[in-house]
Amino acid sequence: MVRVTYLFSFILLFFASCKKKESPRPDLIIPSTYDGANFDINASVQAAVLDRLASLTREAQKGRNPSVVVNKTDLDNLFRAGNPSLASIITSYYKARLEGTGGWFEELAKASGQGTYSPGPPTGEGGVLGGYLFDENGLEIEQLIEKGQFGATLYKHALDLIDAGNFDEAFVDKLLAIYGAKPNFANSGSNNVPANARDRFAANYAARRSDINDNNSLYIQIKNQFIKLQAAVRAGSAYNQERNEAISQIKLLWEKAIAATAINYCHSVIATLSQTNPTDAQKGSALHALGEAIGFIHGFRTIPQNHKKITDAQIDEILLLFNAPSNATPTCYLFVTDAINQLPKLQQAIAKLQNIYGFTNAEIESFKNNWVALQSR
């Protein structure tokens, strides 16, 4: 009996000593910079997607000249060009809104070449005001075509990469590229930065919303998450939790940067149209800013809910406040013709976005600024 007891005790001590020898998993080592050695090769497809959206936008912008007629066929062809084309990776909802009968490509083409636009109850097909092309309802279709695809096409493409589950180093580079940043994280999309290094698309607007002196700005936060993601992927499957945390944060911060930019444009409309007797140029600028906000928010409609914080119901509420409902004729011109009653709607939209994303009052105030321009970077 004593021998059995000793044997049992020996076995327990043996396993206990083995357990003590097991090393805990080391903490993930996160470097201070992003390694972009293979970025250009890995992200060539995503860079081409960004270029295709830029080309489509340039074609739409030709309508800013009041004497130029934009051809719908040209817009359709650019939308469908390349592999992958914009048309092949966009949400089905937004695709139908762009290229269908009575869609935004057709509406922009109809408004182009019509001369000057005068805000008021719809007459004709629209025209140019303050250097921007509007339809007869005062809606800048160009912004629905471009800024709407920041969510419906670019963010959607990022989600497709994530859902594919191929979490290798090339995946991280692709995700960074479709966000619009480069491995150097310039924190600027201005001409002060070389073209091959500057931020584009969502990253460009994240930079505008971020004070360079704020180490907790949206831009710096998302930069840090990309560096963490690269480190976690390189470290292997033992760090899948850190990988997934980084992906989750990148999605949220990306979405918040877009929402912050919509808030910026709401501020701009309010400031401009609160003035006494704004000029035609100011009216056009205000409706342009409104169009930007509409595009940024509308593009996230029908993005799967597990990949975004805002709900489609909340998007519809905000679009209604913008006088650009998703399911009815817009009345954007009212912000010019009835500013005293319409501008409070934009304050309500700001409050809704603040509540959805948990922005502080200080952040809401900060979002009034284009920090890249203010800081000349």
Question: What does 56-69 look like in DSSP terms, one character per residue?
Answer: HHHHHHGGGSTTPP
Token pair of 102 as six digits:
């009575």
Q: What are phi and psi of 131, to 5 degrees?
A: 85, 10
> What is the rounded distance in angstroms from the CA atom of residue 309 to the CA atom of residue 237?
27
Amino acid letter for position 29: I
DSSP three-state, residue 125: coil
Domain ranges of the chain: 39-374
For residue 348, the Cα-to-chain-centroid distance in whole angstroms is 21
pLDDT in tens, the chain (377 residues): 444 444 444 444 444 444 445 568 899 999 999 999 999 999 999 999 999 999 999 999 999 999 999 999 999 999 999 999 999 999 999 999 999 899 999 999 999 999 999 999 999 999 999 999 999 999 999 999 999 999 999 999 999 999 999 999 999 999 999 999 999 999 999 999 999 999 999 999 999 999 999 999 999 999 999 999 999 999 999 999 999 999 999 999 999 999 999 999 999 999 999 999 999 999 999 999 999 999 999 999 999 999 999 999 999 999 999 999 999 999 999 999 999 999 999 999 999 999 999 999 999 999 999 999 999 99
Spatial distance between the Cα atoms of 147 and 191, rounded to a whole number of angstroms:
21
Under DSSP, the state recorded for 260 is H
Hey, is 194 helix, strand or coil?
Answer: coil
| pTM for this model (two decimals) | 0.94
pLDDT tens per residue across span 35-47: 999 999 999 999 9
Backbone φ and ψ for 255, nearest 5 degrees, come out as -60, -40
**Residue 282, class by beta-carbon neighbours within 10 Å (0-12 exposed, 13-18 middle, 19+ buried)?**
middle
CB burial string 205-216: b at 16+ within 10 A, e below: bbbbbbebeeee
Contact 296, 349 (CB under 8 A): no
